[in-house]
Amino acid sequence: MIPELGHFALWLAAALALVQLIGGEVELRRKDDDAALRLLVPAAIGQALLCTGAFGALIWAFTVSDFSVLLVASHSHTEKPLLYKLTGAWANHEGSMLLWVTVLALFGLAAAARATGPGGRFRVRLIQTMGAIALGFYAYLLVSSNPFLRLDPAPVEGRGLNPLLQDPGLAFHPPLLYLGYVGMSATFAFAVAALLERQVTPAWGRAVRPWVLAAWSFLTAGIMLGSFWAYYELGWGGWWFWDPVENASLMPWLAATALFHSVGVLAARGALKNWTILLAVLAFSLSMVGTFIVRSGLLTSVHAFAVDPERGLFLLILLGIYVGGALILYALRASTVNEGARFRFVSREGALVVNNLILSAILGVVFIGTLYPVALEAISGERVSVGPPYYETALLPLIFVLLVLMAAGPFLKWRLADLRAVGARLLPAFVTAAVLALVAVLFGLRGVLAALGVAVAGWLGAASLLIVLGPRARRLSLSATGTALAHFGVAVTALGIAASAAGSIERTYPLAPGETARIADFEIRLDAVEPWAGPNYTSVRGLVSAAYDGNSELLAPERRAFVNPMQVTTETDILVRPSGNLYAVLGDGDGEGRWQVRLHWQPLVALIWIGGLIAAGGGVVAAFAGGKRRARERREAAA
C-alpha cells in the first residue's frame, strides 16, 4: 500500500510541475504577475511535499525490507545493518534518481518561497523553469526508472547491496553531492529567467549569489566526502584518480567556482553579463552531463549502477531539451545584452577575470581528458584511457598561477588598484611562504616542485589570514570573511597535496606472520592473520603492528568476503598521526602462509580534506552576506 502511495504521489508531483509550467504561461499572457505567483508558489510547495513523501515511502519500504518491491528485493537483505538498509534506498539507480528529483523539488520550494530578483515576472519565470526541469525528470522516473515496481510473488530474501557501498561515507556522500549538483538547478533557472525577461542586471547578480554559494558549498563537501571514501575504501592509497565520474563532479564545481567570482563582478560593477549567464547555464548543464555520463553506461565506474542504453537515451533527450534549449536562448539573447561597464586590468574586476580565465582553462583540460576517450572510440573504435600524467602536466602550471594570484585578489580595490600598496600589505605573506618552504626543506622535503607547492600554500594561507586577523578585520563584511576562509581552506588543501605528493612512500611486502619490514620511521611487523566474523560478512584480518619513537600501534587491515552478493572487498586501516597517515592494505595470500601487505606513508595527507571542509564553510559564510538587503527586498515585494 505505501509503495503505491509513493508512486501516486510522484504522479501528482509531476502534475503540479506541469501546472507550474503551463499555469505560469497562461497567467503571464494575461499580464497578471500576482495571480501567477498565487498559483505557482503553492504548486511548487505542494510538488516538493509530494515528492518528499514519495521518497519517504521508498525509505519505508527499505526499512521494513518489503521484498515485494522489486528495487528492495534487488538491493537489500534482511541481515543488513539498519543504516545500510536506509542508504540502500539511494545506493541504486532508481532510488538515487528519486533522491535527485526530491532534492530538485526542495530547491524548487526554496526558490519559490525565498528567491528575490528583479521583478514579479522574473520570479514567475524562475518558478516556471524549476517546474519545467522537474517535469522532465519525473517523466524519466515514471517511464523508465520507476522505483516502486512490484514483484509478485515476493521473494523471501533480497539480493543484498554491493559491499563497496556498505560504508558510512556512502550515507552522506550522495545526498551532499546531489545538494550541490541539483542546487545548481536554481542558478540555471535564474539564468533562464533573466534571459527570458532581459533582466541581466546587478540586482540579478545579488539575488543569485547566495544560491550559487550554497550549492557550491554542498558540492565541495560532497566531493571531499567522495574523495575520502575512495581513499579508505578502494584501497589504492590515492585520494583522486581522475576517474571520469570524479571529473563529472569536478567540472560543475569548476564552473560554479568561476560563476560566483564573476557574479561578484556583475553585482558590484554591472560588468561580465554574458559571461556570467553562460557560466550559470554551464554549471547545471555540466551537473546533468555528469549524471548522464554516470548513469548511461557511457563510461565504466563504480557508480554505473544500471547500464541501460535506453535510459541513457532518455537522459540524453532531457539533456538536449534543457541544455540545448538554454544555449539556444543564450545564443539568441546574449547579443542583445549590453556588455556593461568597462574596467581597467589592474583592479578587483581584472583579477576576477584572470581567475575566470584560469578556471575555464582548467575546466577545458578536464572536459577534454574526460570525453576524449569516448570521442575517440565513437570515431575510430580505438580504446584508450587518459591517466594522471595528462592532468598533472596540463594542470599544475595553471593551478600554481591561480594560487599565487588568488592570494592577492582580495587585496585589490574595485576600479583601479594600487599595486605598490597591495605589495606592502602582502609582505608578511611573502615572508611566511619563504620560511615555510625553508622549514619543509630542512625537514627533508625533496624536489623543487614540492618546495614551490609548500611555498605557494604558505603564501595563500598567510595572505588569507592577514585579512581576517589584520588591522581592518573589525569592519570585515561577511562576504570578505567567507572569501578569506575559503581561500585559507584552499591553501590548507594545497599544502596537503604538495606534502603528500612529494613525501609519499609506497612499499609492498610479502610477509609471513612474525616477519618485519620498514617504511618511513615505522618498524612494521605482521603479527598474525586471523579469520573473524562481521555482521553480514566473514573476513580475514591481518594484525599489523607499527612501532615508531618507542610507541606501538596495531593496525588491522581486512579482506572481507560478503555472501549477498558474493564479493571480496579490501578494508584498509589507517594510523592517523599529526605528521601524516600510515595506510595499510592486506593483499592476496599465496596459500603457503605469506600475505601481500601494502603500506603507504603519506605526510600531511589529511589536510586535503580538512582544507576542503574549511573552504565549504567559507562558502556558507559568504552565502549569508547581503541577507539584510534580501530580507528588505522580500518585505517590499510582499507589501
Partner 1 sequence: MIRRLAVILPLAAFLLFVVIAIRGLDSDPSRPIESGMVGQPVPDFELEGLNDANPGLAASDLRQGTVTLVNLFGSWCLPCRVEAPQLERLAASGAVVHAVAIRDETQDVEEFLAEYGDPFSRIGMDPRGRMQIEFGATGVPETYLIDGDGVIRAQWIGEIRPENVEEILARMEALQ
Binding site for partner 1 (CB under 8 A): 274, 278, 281-282, 285, 289, 292, 296-300, 304, 307, 309, 312-313, 316, 319-320, 323-324, 327-328, 330-331, 334-335, 371, 374-375, 377-379, 382-385, 387, 389, 506-510, 587-590, 594, 596
For residue 475, give every residue at least 6 positions away whose Cβ sits within 8 Å of its Cβ, in sequence order, or none. Answer: none
- In 3D space, the residue among 190, 91, 78, 172 whose CA is nearest the CA of residue 133 turns out to be 190
Nearest distance, CB of residue 587 and partner 1, angstroms: 7
- Cell (9 digits) for 132: 519545467
Quote the CA–CA distance of 353 and 277 in Å, as a whole number. Answer: 14
Nearest distance, CB of residue 327 and partner 1, angstroms: 4
CB nearer partner 1, residue 550 or residue 591: 591
CB nearer partner 1, residue 334 or residue 416: 334
Quote the CA–CA distance of 569 and 166 in Å, as a whole number. Answer: 10
Quote the CA–CA distance of 245 and 360 in Å, as a whole number. Answer: 19
Quote the CA–CA distance of 330 and 282 in Å, as a whole number. Answer: 11
CB nearer partner 1, residue 315 or residue 460: 315
Nearest distance, CB of residue 4 and partner 1, angstroms: 33
Quote the CA–CA distance of 120 and 634 in Å, as a whole number. Answer: 11
DSSP structure string for 578-621: TTEEEEEEEEEE-SSS-EEEEEEEEETTTHHHHHHHHHHHHHHH
Nearest distance, CB of residue 273 and partner 1, angstroms: 12
The terminus-to-terminus CA distance of the chain in angstroms comes to: 45
CB nearer partner 1, residue 375 or residue 431: 375
CB nearer partner 1, residue 334 or residue 575: 334
CB nearer partner 1, residue 506 or residue 633: 506
Nearest distance, CB of residue 350 and partner 1, angstroms: 19
CB nearer partner 1, residue 34 or residue 377: 377
For residue 499, give every residue at least 6 positions away whose Cβ sits within 8 Å of its Cβ, in sequence order, or none. Answer: 440, 445, 450, 453, 454, 580, 603, 604, 605, 607
CB nearer partner 1, residue 28 or residue 200: 200
Nearest distance, CB of residue 50 and partner 1, angstroms: 32
Count of C-beta atoms within a 10 Å radius of residue 34:
10
Nearest distance, CB of residue 330 and partner 1, angstroms: 7
CB nearer partner 1, residue 506 or residue 553: 506
Nearest distance, CB of residue 266 and partner 1, angstroms: 17
Asked whether the beta carbons of 216 and 619 are under 8 A apart, the reply is yes
Count of C-beta atoms within a 10 Å radius of residue 405:
15
Nearest distance, CB of residue 377 and partner 1, angstroms: 6
**DSSP code for 155:** P
CA separation (Å) from 49 to 44, 190, 385?
9, 22, 44
CB nearer partner 1, residue 321 or residue 434: 321
Quote the CA–CA distance of 362 and 367 in Å, as a whole number. Answer: 9
Nearest distance, CB of residue 364 and partner 1, angstroms: 10
Nearest distance, CB of residue 302 and partner 1, angstroms: 13
CB nearer partner 1, residue 279 or residue 426: 279
Handedness of CA 394, 399, 404, 405 (dihedral sign): positive
For residue 431, the one-letter residue type is: V
Nearest distance, CB of residue 508 and partner 1, angstroms: 4
Nearest distance, CB of residue 331 and partner 1, angstroms: 5
DSSP structure string for 433-494: HHHHHHHHHHTT---HHHHHHHHHHHHHHHHHHHHHHSTTGGG--HHHHHHHHHHHHHHHHH
Nearest distance, CB of residue 316 and partner 1, angstroms: 6
Nearest distance, CB of residue 196 and partner 1, angstroms: 16
Query: Beta partners for 562?
Result: 537, 567
CB nearer partner 1, residue 63 or residue 596: 596
CB nearer partner 1, residue 279 or residue 465: 279
φ, ψ of residue 30 to 5 degrees: the values are -80, 0
CB nearer partner 1, residue 251 or residue 412: 251
Query: C-alpha angle 575/581/585, rounded to 5°?
Result: 65
Count of C-beta atoms within a 10 Å radius of residue 130:
33
CA separation (Å) from 365 to 31, 226, 268, 340, 625?
46, 21, 30, 30, 33
Q: Where are the alpha helices (DSSP H) in 270-347?
A: 273-296, 309-319, 325-334
Quote the CA–CA distance of 401 and 411 in Å, as a whole number. Answer: 17
Which class for 274: exposed (0-12), middle (13-18), buried (19 or more C-beta within 10 A)? middle
- In 3D space, the residue among 412, 398, 422 whose CA is nearest the CA of residue 483 turns out to be 412
CB nearer partner 1, residue 515 or residue 553: 515
For residue 166, give every residue at least 6 positions away whose Cβ sits within 8 Å of its Cβ, in sequence order, or none. Answer: 80, 81, 84, 562
